[in-house]
């Protein structure tokens, strides 16, 4: 309803409380016929002819029409959110940077667009040696860290999903979650690009500060 024009929003309010033996709805339709006609699949002339009709005669049909419009708007919103999330997941996987710690992820994509589809319960990272389901709800709660720590880094490895900030002094570590079979259709998969040997340093004894330096942050 947020994207509806003012006239349609006001009509929806009037439909909620029709007055017996009154013509409030019909009068409103007639007064706003030009603005409402495109949305109600009617002509302005048809809406003007409703001026003499009682609320109890007009309300049921209007209510049915408005409910259908609400469902259509919500279905469209969900479809756009799903498409946005799927595109972000593909981009996130394609831009992952493999290091000896695992795949370093674009934090902005991970904590924003990847979470766009609220119907998903899990975000599953899959790639070389990695099959890590993470709770979408948990990631939503972590999203506030983007505003608090400009050096926030996220990476995923076989042992789970990890976040680091303040040069590695702060962080979260989450082990892979278990996806119940009943939630199989509520999973968004992030297909990580293949790990190439040349992209995985063979250094030992390094820490997350090295990852930060690789991303351009001071460790």
Q: For 128-174, give the secondary structure using H, E and C.
A: CCEEEEEEHHHHHHHCCHHHHCCCCEEEEECCEEEEEEHHHCEEEEE
Is-contact 111 149, C-beta < 8 A? no
Q: Are residues 62 and 119 both part of a single domain?
A: no
Q: Is the pTM of this model over 0.85?
A: no
Q: Are residues 116 and 190 both part of a single domain?
A: yes
Mean local confidence (pLDDT), 126-152: 90
Local confidence band at 138 (pLDDT 50, 70, 90 cut-offs): very high
Q: Are residues 114 and 74 both part of a single domain?
A: no
Distance CA 160, CA 132 (A): 6
Instruction: For residue 171, list its beta bridge partners.
Output: 164
Q: Are residues 146 and 208 both part of a single domain?
A: yes
pLDDT at 177 over 70: yes
* CA dihedral (147, 133, 114, 161) positive or negative: positive
Domain assignment present for 91: no
Please enumerate in sequence order all residues whose Cβ is within 8 A of that of 214, keeping only pairs 6 or more positions apart, or say none: 97, 99, 104
Domain end residue (candidates: 78, 110, 139): 78
Local confidence band at 204 (pLDDT 50, 70, 90 cut-offs): very low
Range of the domain at 126: 97-214
Q: Are residues 126 and 205 both part of a single domain?
A: yes
pLDDT at 206 over 50: no
Mean local confidence (pLDDT), 63-90: 91
Q: Are residues 102 and 175 both part of a single domain?
A: yes
Q: Are residues 73 and 101 both part of a single domain?
A: no
The DSSP code for 175 is P
pLDDT at 77 over 50: yes
pLDDT at position 1:
55
Distance CA 211, CA 99 (A): 8
204/196: higher pLDDT: 196
Q: Are residues 122 and 205 both part of a single domain?
A: yes
Number of domains in the chain: 2
Cα 94 to Cα 80, 110, 134, 152, 153: the distances in Å are 21, 12, 18, 20, 17
188/14: higher pLDDT: 188
pLDDT at position 18:
84
Domain assignment present for 92: no
Domain end residue (candidates: 15, 48, 78): 78
* CA dihedral (154, 157, 161, 167) positive or negative: negative
Q: Are residues 145 and 206 both part of a single domain?
A: yes
109/150: higher pLDDT: 109
Domain assignment present for 43: yes
pLDDT at position 195:
81
9/1: higher pLDDT: 9
Local confidence band at 160 (pLDDT 50, 70, 90 cut-offs): very high
Domain assignment present for 64: yes
Q: Are residues 208 and 107 both part of a single domain?
A: yes
pLDDT at position 166:
87
Category of 6 on φ-ψ map: left (φ > 0), alpha (ψ -120 to 50) or beta: alpha
Q: Are residues 104 and 194 both part of a single domain?
A: yes
Distance CA 101, CA 103 (A): 7
Distance CA 153, CA 161 (A): 11
Q: What is the CA radius of gyration of the chain?
A: 26
């Amino acid at each position: 309803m947020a994207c509806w024009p003012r006239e349609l929003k006001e009509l929806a309010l009037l439909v909620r409380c029709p007055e017996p033996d009154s013509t409030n709805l019909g009068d409103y339709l007639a007064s706003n016929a030009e603005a409402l006609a495109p949305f109600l699949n009617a002509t302005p002339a048809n809406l003007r002819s409703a001026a003499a009709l009682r609320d109890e005669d007009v309300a049921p049909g209007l209510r049915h029409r408005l409910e259908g419009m609400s469902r259509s708007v919500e279905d469209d919103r969900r479809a756009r959110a799903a498409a946005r999330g799927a595109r972000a997941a593909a981009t996130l996987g394609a831009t992952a940077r493999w290091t000896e710690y695992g795949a370093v992820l674009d934090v902005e994509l991970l904590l924003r667009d990847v979470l766009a589809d609220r119907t998903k319960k899990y975000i599953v990272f899959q790639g070389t040696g990695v099959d890590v389901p993470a709770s979408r709800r948990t990631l939503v709660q972590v999203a506030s860290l983007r505003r608090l720590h400009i050096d926030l880094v996220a990476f995923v490895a076989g042992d789970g999903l990890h976040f680091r900030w303040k040069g590695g002094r702060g962080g979260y570590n989450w082990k892979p979650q278990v996806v119940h079979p009943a939630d199989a259709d509520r999973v968004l998969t992030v297909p990580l690009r293949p790990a190439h040997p040349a992209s995985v340093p063979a250094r030992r004894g390094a820490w997350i500060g090295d990852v930060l330096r690789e991303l351009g942050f001071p460790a």
